[in-house]
Amino acid sequence: NHLRLRHVESMASFPSDAGKISHLNAAILGEALASEENDLVLPSHDFSRQALIPSPHKYLEMYKRSIEDPAEFWSDIALSEFYWKQRWGDQVYSENLHLNKGDIKIQWFKGGITNICYNCLDRNIDAGLGDKIALYWESNEPGFDAHLTYSQLLHRVCQLANCLKSIGVRKGDAVVVYLPMLLELPITMLACARIGAVHSVVFAGFSSDSLAQRIVDCKPNVVITCNAVKRGPKTIHLKDIVDAALIESAKDGVSIDVCLTYENQSTLKRESTKWQEGRDMWWQDVVPIYPTTCEVEWVDAEDPLFLLYTSGSTGRPKGVLHTTGGYMVYTATTFKYAFDYKESDVYWCTADCGWITGHSYVTYGPMLNGATVVVYEGAPNYPDSGRSWDIVDKYKVTIFYTAPTLVRSLMCDGDEYVTRYSRKSLRVLGSAGEPINPSAWRWFFNLVGGSRCPISDTWWQTETGGFMITPLPGAWPQKPGSATFPFFGVQPVIVDEKGNEIDGECSGYLCVKGSWPGAFRTLYGDHERYETTYFRQFPGYYFTGDGCNRDKDGYYWLTGRVDDVINVSGHRIGTAEVESALVSHPQCAEAAVVGVEHEVKGQGIYAFVTIVEGVSYSEQLRKSLIRAVRNQIGAFAAPDKIHWAPSLPKTRSGKIMRRILRKIASRQSDELGDTSSLAEPGVVDQLISLADC
């Protein structure tokens, strides 16, 4: 109770005009926060005292400044913490987020000339960090590891950058990267950035079809991969997957000049890797011969940095495009404050660089801060469920950032795997990718963090580039399961169905007002889709696709996607993509996919499938349907359940009623609601009776 009181005191000194910032109206009332019914977890006094943002008061002061004068707020940071070859023009930013006013357009630091690789490496080395460890690498197999200092990393990056240039990669060219978590993955990203090439990393769990689809979309000349990777006990032959993808993409008229292949020595021998002379090159044969210095390609802040494909509710994956300057400033600043970064920290983010978290918070955000980063190749539960904590102890990790699905799965495996290790180096924990349920939050907090490490539950998206709603450890009392408050410069709004902004305690659709430096600028090759997907439904705002509640204290609670996107273990999967993979199976006539609650994965994939006439449903067919999805998307998108549906519930106009399917999938068939618009009401009973077939 004395902790609660301490906080109430600090709240009493809030600036009186802070109340103008509507989302904080309630939060500034100390009594509300301190009331007994609130389930608050307060940062320790010691933690807060040394934190970058030590109090709600400090947060409010900075937040207010960031909203009232974004140009000044962000340009102060951009100028004091980054290197610009040339300053931007008169305007720090310009934006049009309203379709009625012409094309949607966001620009930050336009005219500013910089390079993000230079800012990650050269600038930090010049500041004396050359001998600091930049990357620790831990192999899938315990006992194998490596590390690179900032200077060594720069050398490696330059050699690859020179090699890419000699192959003919130029500023603005796309480079597709299909690598697992080897040091070569961040090296490749940084090398592309150094020469102004646009990397498009494809998560190495995607199938050859998905890889081919991305290659066809962005048309690179070079693909970078490795022969194979071990994940847990399994060896995955990545080069074979790339070979198959390249055959597919060639059919669509996109052929590759060079496939640069890293020899991951712990896996396959060179001799057993299939090879196409003239196209394929071993990394180890060519890259090390290049000089260890490489001129920087200076780029405009608005030049593209990378493309990353992500799933939407309809159609093909979207190529989210991020540019250089704003993304740089935003990822570095969010990293610094949301994890309360200190120079002595050792930081480990378990995400793969194939997803946005690995872009912003394995590579760019931490490196821009000169942080020491752990990169782990393997599975978090290999050889057993204690591996993560073994790694934490081995490298004395202080900041550990992961996904709720990992927390839940380790929680199921038992506390003894955690308590076997000391974990005393840990200072801050982080979570991202999906809502973290309060019981997982508590286990993470109490057991893993020994009740002393604040949890930064960071809400954000591929599109947002960096954290949008996140606790700042040390500043706020936390509520398990809430991402708390917006980051500096971010104005979340909750709207109703009609797009009216709702104030105070409420629930609705989460939108964002105004732009922020890390926002994506377009969908590659399809600006119209960018505008319609994100800016049409609620005019004047960026629509996130998420549902959200705001409680009486102003805390934000993300409730998950409100569109047809499923979040499986933190991986975004469009129901339409899974459906299209299923119907590509010759015996599948129609498919409808919905998400269902899943104890470990957050959501599971539940597929209703109608098969073609004359074929009977069997176990063999079920397996082959699942195989079709694995082959077309990747193993992570395999349906958890196939529900045979002789027919699907449709409206008279032929639209599938997913609301009903969701109820049947979650075994809530007594809550079907109004079924009067169904064309054939009998379909529902039939489906319910087949649920356990």
Q: What is the dihedral of CA 351, 355, 360, 364, to 10 degrees?
A: 90
Give burial (CB, 10 Å; 0-12/13-18/19+) of 38. Answer: middle
- Can you tell me the distance from the alpha carbon of 37 to that of 54, in angstroms, rounded to the nearest whole number? 25
Contact status: 458 vs ligand WTA (CB under 6 A): yes
CB of 569 to ligand WTA, least distance (A): 11
CB of 564 to ligand WTA, least distance (A): 12
Q: What is the dihedral of CA 97, 102, 103, 104, to 10 degrees?
A: 0
CB of 457 to ligand WTA, least distance (A): 5
Sole window of 437-445, 457-465, 590-598, 662-670 interacting with ligand WTA (rule: CB under 6 A): 457-465
Q: Which residue has the tokens 């004068």?
A: 69
Sole window of 30-38, 192-200, 233-241, 560-568 interacting with ligand WTA (rule: CB under 6 A): 560-568
Of 400 and 417, CB closest to ligand WTA: 400
Q: What is each CA distance from 267 to 242, 276, 502, in whole angstroms?
A: 17, 20, 55
Q: Binders of ligand WTA among 42-61, rule CB under 6 A?
A: none
- Can you tell me the distance from the alpha carbon of 319 to that of 566, in angstroms, rounded to the nearest whole number? 18
Of the candidate residues 224, 299, 356, 626, the single one contacting ligand WTA (CB under 6 A)? 356
Sole window of 56-64, 109-117, 236-244, 431-439 interacting with ligand WTA (rule: CB under 6 A): 431-439
CB of 204 to ligand WTA, least distance (A): 16
Exposure string for 271-304, b = 16+ CB within 10 A, e = fewer? eebebeeeebbbbeebbeebeeebebbebbbbbb
Determine the residue type at 246: L
Of 196 and 466, CB closest to ligand WTA: 466
CB of 480 to ligand WTA, least distance (A): 12
Q: Which of 327, 362, 334 is nearest to 203 (CA)?
A: 362
Of the candidate residues 173, 345, 377, 546, the single one contacting ligand WTA (CB under 6 A)? 546
Q: Which of 349, 346, 344, 319 is nearest to 331 (CA)?
A: 349
Query: Which residues, 6+ apart, have CB-to-CB distance to 447 below 8 Å?
Result: 415, 418, 419
Sole window of 23-31, 49-57, 114-122, 349-357 interacting with ligand WTA (rule: CB under 6 A): 349-357
Size of site (CB under 6 A) for ligand WTA: 23
CB of 359 to ligand WTA, least distance (A): 10
- DSSP per-residue string spanning 546-605: EEEEE-TTS-EEEEEESSSEEEETTEEEEHHHHHHHHHTSTTEEEEEEEEEEETTTEEEE
Sole window of 161-169, 278-286, 432-440, 623-631 interacting with ligand WTA (rule: CB under 6 A): 432-440
Of the candidate residues 352, 377, 434, 579, the single one contacting ligand WTA (CB under 6 A)? 434
State the Cα angle at 484 between 481 and 486, rounded to 5°: 140
Quote the tokens at residue 40: 């608050």
Of the candidate residues 107, 461, 484, 569, the single one contacting ligand WTA (CB under 6 A)? 461
Shortest Cβ contact with ligand WTA: which residue?
462
Backbone angles phi, psi at 91, to 5 degrees: -100, 130
Q: Binders of ligand WTA among 565-584, rule CB under 6 A?
A: 567, 572
CB of 506 to ligand WTA, least distance (A): 18
Of the candidate residues 117, 294, 548, 558, the single one contacting ligand WTA (CB under 6 A)? 558
Of 56 and 435, CB closest to ligand WTA: 435
Count of positions (residues) in the chain: 693
Contact status: 490 vs ligand WTA (CB under 6 A): no
- Can you tell me the distance from the alpha carbon of 200 to that of 673, in angstroms, rounded to the nearest whole number? 44
- Can you tell me the distance from the alpha carbon of 133 to that of 111, in angstroms, rounded to the nearest whole number? 33
Q: Binders of ligand WTA among 510-529, rule CB under 6 A?
A: none
Quote the tokens at residue 451: 């009740």
Contact status: 310 vs ligand WTA (CB under 6 A): yes
Sole window of 202-210, 278-286, 544-552, 593-601 interacting with ligand WTA (rule: CB under 6 A): 544-552
The set of catalytic residues is 563
Contact status: 249 vs ligand WTA (CB under 6 A): no
Contact status: 483 vs ligand WTA (CB under 6 A): yes
Of the candidate residues 181, 256, 301, 432, the single one contacting ligand WTA (CB under 6 A)? 432
Q: How many CB atoms lie within 10 A of CB 166?
A: 11
CB of 545 to ligand WTA, least distance (A): 5
Sole window of 45-53, 127-135, 198-206, 559-567 interacting with ligand WTA (rule: CB under 6 A): 559-567
- Can you tell me the distance from the alpha carbon of 144 to that of 146, in angstroms, rounded to the nearest whole number? 7
Contact status: 140 vs ligand WTA (CB under 6 A): no
Contact status: 459 vs ligand WTA (CB under 6 A): yes
Question: Which stretches of the chain bind ligand WTA, using CB under 6 A?
Answer: 310, 355-357, 432-435, 457-462, 483, 544-546, 558, 560-561, 567, 572
